[in-house]
Amino acid sequence: MQENERKKIVFSGIQPTGNLHLGNYIGALRNFGPLQEEYDCLYSIVDLHAITVRQNPTQLRQNCLKLMSLYLAAGLDPDRSLIYFQSHVPAHAELAWVLNCFTYMGELSRMTQFKDKAQKHAENINVGLFAYPTLMAADILLYQTNFVPVGNDQKQHIEITRDIAERFNAIYGDVFTIPEPLIGKVGARIMSLSDPTRKMSKSDPEDTFIAILDEPNVIRKKVRRAVTDSEALVKYDVENKPGVSNLMSIYSAVTGKGFAEIENEFVGKGYGDFKEAVADAVIAELEPIQARYRQISADKAYLNEVMTKGAERAAKLAARTMSKVRRKVGLAATQL
C-alpha cells in the first residue's frame, strides 16, 4: 500500500438495549479493536435504533453510557476511532429519510429481524421498526464505509444496504461506497444457553445468556446449566449436538483453539470437565474488561470528552456525504 493511500473505512454499531451478552461480544465487539490497526473506524452507540422498541428513558440514557464504557473497556481507542452516539449526528436521520424514498415496502417486509420483532412486539409494530434497515443503511453509507463487522444476524441488513446504495448510484452516479460485511468464521452466531437452536438474544430471560458484566460465579453457574445432550462426547456437530457445538464455538472463539483440537482435549472426559474449561476461559476473557469497565464508567468527564469529540468529528465526515446527496437529488442549497 502506498504511504499516501487513504485507509479503508470500518463502521459498526450496537444498540444500547438490555445487557450486552457474549454473542454481541464474540460476534461483534471483540472484533472491533483489532480493526483499528489497519482501518479508520467509527463505532456508534445506535440509540435511534433502540427506540424502535419502547424504552424506559432513564434506563436508555444509562445504557448508552454503559455501552460507551464497554466499547472503551473492550479496547476501542478514542484517539484512533470515532466513538459517538448516533443521535448526536443528525445526518443519520436525515440520510435515512432520503434512503426511505429509494427503498421498497416489499424489500423491508422480507427482513427477518423485522418479522421476528413484529412478532415479539405485536402491540407496537411501528414505522420506525419497519424502516430500521434504512437507518442502518444511512449509518453505513454516510461514512463511505468499506467494511462492516457484524454477527451473522445482520448480514441481511448489509445486503439491503448494498442494494439501496447500488440503486442510488445507478441513478445519480458514484455517490456511495458499496460496503461489505466482515463476519467472523467462529462465533458469528452464538446460541442461547437454554435452547441452543435459538440465537442468544438480549431480549430473552437472563439465564439464557452470559452478560459481559456477569460476575465470575454467575458465568460459571450459567455455563454449568447450559443445555447439552446425554452422549457425553465433546464433538462439533451442530445438527445433532447444538448445545455442545455452541459451547465449543464459545471456547474456540475465546481460546483460539480449533474444533479438532478441542475434541482431542476432551477425549474420555465428561461434560463436567468441558464446562469448567469453558467457564474458566470465558471468565479469563471477560475479567480484565470488567475491571477496565469499572474504572472507565466512573469517569464521567472522560466519557463526556470522548462522546463530544466523537460526535463532532463524525458530523464533519457525515456532512461531506450529505451535501453530495442533497445536490444529487435536487435539494436546493441554503445559499442560492
Residues at the annotated binding site?
Answer: 15-17, 23-24, 139, 151-153, 190, 199-203
Residue type (1 letter), 194: S
Binding mask 107-136 for ligand TYM (x = CB under 6 A): -----------------------------x
Closest distance between ligand TYM and the C-beta of residue 187, in Å? 6
**What is the nearest approach in angstroms of ligand TYM to the Cβ of residue 53?**
11
Options 9, 18, 23, 143; binder of ligand TYM; rule CB under 6 A = 23
Phi-psi region of 126 (alpha: psi -120 to 50; beta: other; left: phi over 0): beta
Q: How far is the CB of 3 from ligand TYM (least distance, A)?
A: 29
Q: Which residues are catalytic?
A: 117, 199, 202
Binding mask 176-205 for ligand TYM (x = CB under 6 A): ------------xxx--------xx-----
Best CA proximity match to 16, nearest among 72, 65, 52: 65
Interaction pattern, residues 25-64, with ligand TYM; x per rule: CB under 6 A: --xx-----------------x--x---------------
105, three cell numbers: 415496502
Tell me the three state secondary structure of residue 40.
strand
Is residue 76 a contact residue for ligand TYM (CB under 6 A)?
no
Q: Environment class of residue 106 by beta-carbon count within 10 Å: exposed (0-12), middle (13-18) or buried (19+)?
A: exposed
- Which part of the chain contacts ligand TYM (CB under 6 A), choosing from 119-127, 145-153, 217-225, 286-294? 145-153
Largest CA distance in the chain: 78
Helix locations, the chain, DSSP H: 22-24, 30-35, 47-50, 57-73, 91-100, 105-109, 112-120, 127-130, 132-141, 155-172, 216-225, 242-255, 259-265, 271-297, 300-329
C-alpha 50/C-alpha 15 separation (Å) is 6
Pick one of 9, 18, 24, 30: the residue that binds ligand TYM (CB under 6 A). 24
For ligand TYM, the closer of residues 25 and 266 by Cβ is: 25
52 with 97: CB under 8 angstroms? no
Q: Is 78 or 149 the residue whose CB approaches ligand TYM more closely?
A: 149
- Looking at beta carbons only, is 11 or 271 nearer to ligand TYM? 11
Q: Residues 318, 92: contact at Cβ < 8 Å? A: yes
Chain residues in the site for ligand TYM (CB under 6 A): 11-15, 23-24, 27-28, 46, 49, 136, 139-140, 148, 150-151, 153-154, 157, 188-190, 199-200
